[in-house]
Amino acid sequence: MDGCDRATNPKNLVQSVAKAFAVLKAFGPDLPELTVAEVAARSGHDRGTAFRLIHTLVDLGYLRPTPEGRRFRLTLKCLELGYAALSASDLPTHAQPLLRELVPDVADAGSLGVLEKGEVIYLARVEAGLERHGVVRRPGTRIGAYATALGHAILAWLPRDEQVAQLGCVARLKLSDRTLTDLDALLVRLAEVRARGYAVSDGENAYGLRTVAAPVIDGRGVPVAGVSLTMGGGRLALSEFVTLTAPRVRALAEELGTGLSLSLGAIGVAR
């Protein structure tokens, strides 16, 4: 049984914990103070359950009543719940252990990269078993975004004029006979990537390697980075590889993007 099965198996879900977090998540910037009835409505609990959970959280120090006693608000102690994660305050630090969960079980390599002046800069990399392909993608490595799934994943979520500008920043050379270099063809490819939700490369920048990549989108809807999973072409057929890795790379990108949004700027994209 893998991690996804454990997470979704109702036998492994502690309902009381889930209900308590539903109460905490009922509060927000738009509604910092709530009555018992409002908490019940926003959390999906009946009023009796909401009342007991609220007073338990008050006793634990995560909620406090307002002076008139009818409403409740979050306390600063709630910061403890996220401080450990936020203390590692750059995206590569957060991405590295998530990539390690997928390499080598799902893929031979996993990467996090950002776009800068037409190039992808690798910020984090976990690799196992790609030495025979002679591919080096250590943090700090740069490669033309036009020739990588990681670059396509980020570029596809940019406005068209910015795509053109980025693609014009570097000389577009053939890295293999499959590398797209024509601007119009690349723009068509980026539209396809955007519609599909992820990018696929099959030997376009290194013979024998297949990669699936997805963008990391921040709270403004901006693609601030991308994540990818790579496998040697001999392990699986392309269709099987995409079926295996696309959901995982999209989930990883979404998790990092959600973290960026919820951190309100505390998590940065280190260069």
Within 8 A by CB and 6+ apart from 32, the residues are 73, 74
Q: How confident is the model at residue 4 (pLDDT cuts 50, 70, 90)?
A: very low
- The span from the CA of 12 to the CA of 120, in Å, is 41
Rounded to whole angstroms, how far apart are CA atoms 155 and 136? 22
Could you say which of 3.30.450.40, 3.40.190.10, 3.10.580.10, 2.30.30.40 is the CATH number of the domain covering 88-263? 3.30.450.40
Could you give the dihedral angle defined by the CA atoms of residues 80, 216, 201 and 230, in that order, rounded to the nearest 10 degrees?
A: -10
Question: Where does the pLDDT of residue 2 fall: very low under 50, low under 70, confident under 90, or very high at 90 and above?
Answer: very low
pLDDT in tens, 211-267: 999 999 988 899 999 999 999 877 788 999 999 999 999 999 998 988 887 776 667
Please state, in angstroms and rounded to a whole number, the distance separating the CA atoms of residues 119 and 270: 16
Domain boundaries, the chain: 11-81, 88-263
Q: Name the more confident of 249 and 9.
A: 249
pLDDT tier, 5 (very low <50, low <70, confident <90, very high otherwise) = very low
Phi, psi of 125 (to 5 degrees): -150, 130
Mean pLDDT over the full length of the chain: 87
Query: Does 270 score more than 80 pLDDT?
Result: no
pLDDT confidence bin for 160, thresholds 50/70/90? very high
Q: For domain 11-81, which architecture applies?
A: Orthogonal Bundle (1.10)
How confident is the model at residue 85, as a pLDDT?
Answer: 53
* Section 184-210 average pLDDT: 94
Please give the pLDDT value at position 3. Answer: 41
The residue-averaged pLDDT of 176-197 equals 96
41 or 5, which is more confident? 41
Q: Does 84 score more than 60 pLDDT?
A: no
pTM score of the predicted model: 0.71
Supply the pLDDT for residue 9. Answer: 65
Task: Supply the angle between the helices 79-87 and 238-263 in degrees, to the nearest 10.
Answer: 120
